[in-house]
Amino acid sequence: MINVTKSALPPLDEYIEEIKELWNSRWLTNMGAKYNQLQTELKKYLNVDNVRLLVNGHMSLELALQALDMKGEVITTPFTFVSTTNAIIRSGLKPVFCDIFYEDYTIDVTKIEELITEKTVAIMPVHVYGNICDVAAISQLAKKYNLAVIYDAAHAFGEKLNGVGVGNFGDVSCYSFHATKVFHTIEGGAVCCKDESLAEKIRVLSDFGINEADQFSYVGTNGKMNEFCAAMGLCNLRHVDEYILQRKKLSDRYSDRLSNVEGIKLNMDNSNIERNYSYYPVVLDEKKLGYDRDQLCEKLKKNDINARKYFYPLTSAVVCSGDCAQTPIAHYISERVLTLPLYPELDLADVDYICDLIMEGIA
Ligand SMILES: *Cc1c(COP(=O)(O)O)cnc(C)c1O
């Protein structure tokens, strides 16, 4: 069985070496040595001013929203993992769904302004599949209407736009280090903020609201990353460039094989982005191909290939019983997108096999 993803792991000895100290220190969580080291190393790797580690990516979204202390509406995309939308709703805010660009599936910045009301307090866009949003246009709108910007950067680990680390945009960028992501800590996440006091507020919120002076300053939660997860992060960070290089090789092979097939739309190339090759989505035009996404997904499954309908359905439909007609492009893409297997250990021969199955079509 070839799954859509398979978690990368460092050599076992390397991880054991990394966690040995924990048997001496007996400091297993609560901002220990591994946590602090990983935070410092990530700050360097991501090229950002402030990083704070958290228990998972979802918590990074919820705590970013809580730290900004807002009430009202948040303009966001329905073409994302349900976590983005859940975080908005669980924070007592109302998601307002904006359509996406046909080209790269990120929020369509030309349609944001018409959704802004006197209740709008923030924009929460997603760098979906590692495609970086139009951050300049979003920043302009945010300034004009005094809105906060929280990026869901779960797919964009280590990416750069015109040489600038993606975590530098907006008020907060939220990362997921879940086992399925390009860089992982088993479970984990982080926020990057320009403003150090905001980053620190998020950390305090992740520790029940207890601040440096040991006082309760906010109604916080338990969202801390533990030392075993941080140790996994330290190991994976040493290998993540290899992982990304391997992902690039495999993605390039998919593109070589599929770029000339009429009816298969590949993820957009953008030479301004230094990519992490987190996913390999294809969008299938059933009229040109003679078969649709669901049929291909079924055929691949019969051949032990687990491709995923990622993202389908739209989160507006799942969580808010929203009307998909209001975001027609997102609706169109979600009905036709299929994310193909991609992970560092996948073989080029497997990619060829998957492409052969796709080109054969449906009998
Ligand atoms: C993975 C993911 C999340 C949630 O991250 P977890 O670490 O699983 O909590 C949020 N948003 C997007 C777009 C994701 O892909």
Separation between Cα atoms, residue 112 and residue 144, nearest integer Å: 12
Residue 23 is predicted with a pLDDT of 97
- Provide the β-strand partners of residue 284: 264
* C-beta 85 within 6 A of ligand 1: no
* C-beta 80 within 6 A of ligand 1: yes
Question: Which of 230, 229, 206 lies closest to 218, judged by CA?
Answer: 206
How far apart are the CA of 88 and the centre of ligand 1, in A? 13
* C-beta 339 within 6 A of ligand 1: no
Give phi and psi for 4, each to the nearest 5.
-65, -30
How far apart are the CA of 23 and the centre of ligand 1, in A? 31
- The DSSP output letter for 173 is E
Separation between Cα atoms, residue 248 and residue 273, nearest integer Å: 13
pLDDT category of residue 105 using cuts at 50, 70 and 90: very high
* C-beta 178 within 6 A of ligand 1: yes
pLDDT category of residue 216 using cuts at 50, 70 and 90: very high
Q: Tell me the pLDDT tens digit for each residue of 150-188.
A: 999 999 999 999 999 999 999 999 999 999 999 999 999
Question: Which of 297, 67, 29 lies closest to 202, judged by CA?
Answer: 67
Q: Tell me the pLDDT tens digit for each residue of 200-215.
A: 999 999 999 999 999 9
Atom number in ligand 1 closest to CA 188: 7
Residue 278 is predicted with a pLDDT of 98
Torsion of CA 134, 248, 230, 165, to 10 degrees: -30
Separation between Cα atoms, residue 258 and residue 304, nearest integer Å: 20
Does 323 score more than 90 pLDDT? no
Give phi and psi for 210, each to the nearest 5.
-85, 120
Residue 351 is predicted with a pLDDT of 98
Atom number in ligand 1 closest to CA 87: 10
Mean pLDDT of 269-293: 97
Give phi and psi for 178, each to the nearest 5.
-65, 155
Separation between Cα atoms, residue 43 and residue 51, nearest integer Å: 6
Q: Tell me the pLDDT tens digit for each residue of 57-97.
A: 999 999 999 999 999 999 999 999 999 999 999 999 999 99
- Is residue 175 classed as helix, strand or coil in its secondary structure? strand
At position 359, the amino acid (one-letter code) is M
* C-beta 126 within 6 A of ligand 1: yes
* C-beta 189 within 6 A of ligand 1: yes
Atom number in ligand 1 closest to CA 83: 10
Question: Which of 80, 70, 120 lies closest to 96, judged by CA?
Answer: 120
Question: Which of 337, 356, 327, 357 lies closest to 294, judged by CA?
Answer: 337
Question: 27: burial class by Cβ within 10 Å (0-12, 13-18, 19+)?
Answer: middle
At position 135, the amino acid (one-letter code) is V
Nearest residue (by CA) to ligand 1, atom 6, is: 57
Structure-token pair, residue 94? 């109302």
How are strands ordered across the β-sheet holding 172-176? Answer: 50-54, 189-193, 172-176, 148-152, 120-124, 73-76, 94-97
Q: What mean pLDDT, rounded, does the chain reach?
A: 97
- H/E/C letters for each residue in 188-219? CEEEEECCHHHHHHHHHHHECCECCCCCECCC
pTM of the model: 0.97
How far apart are the CA of 176 and the centre of ligand 1, in A? 5
Does 325 score more than 90 pLDDT? no
At position 75, the amino acid (one-letter code) is I
Give phi and psi for 199, each to the nearest 5.
-60, -45
Separation between Cα atoms, residue 152 and residue 57, nearest integer Å: 9
* C-beta 84 within 6 A of ligand 1: yes
Pocket test for ligand 1, best of 4, 53, 58, 334 (most atoms within 8 A of CB): 58
pLDDT category of residue 362 using cuts at 50, 70 and 90: confident
HSE, side-chain direction, 13 A CA sphere, residue 46: 27
Nearest residue (by CA) to ligand 1, atom 7, is: 57
How many residues does the structure list for the chain?
Answer: 363
Question: Which of 188, 170, 187 lies closest to 132, judged by CA?
Answer: 170
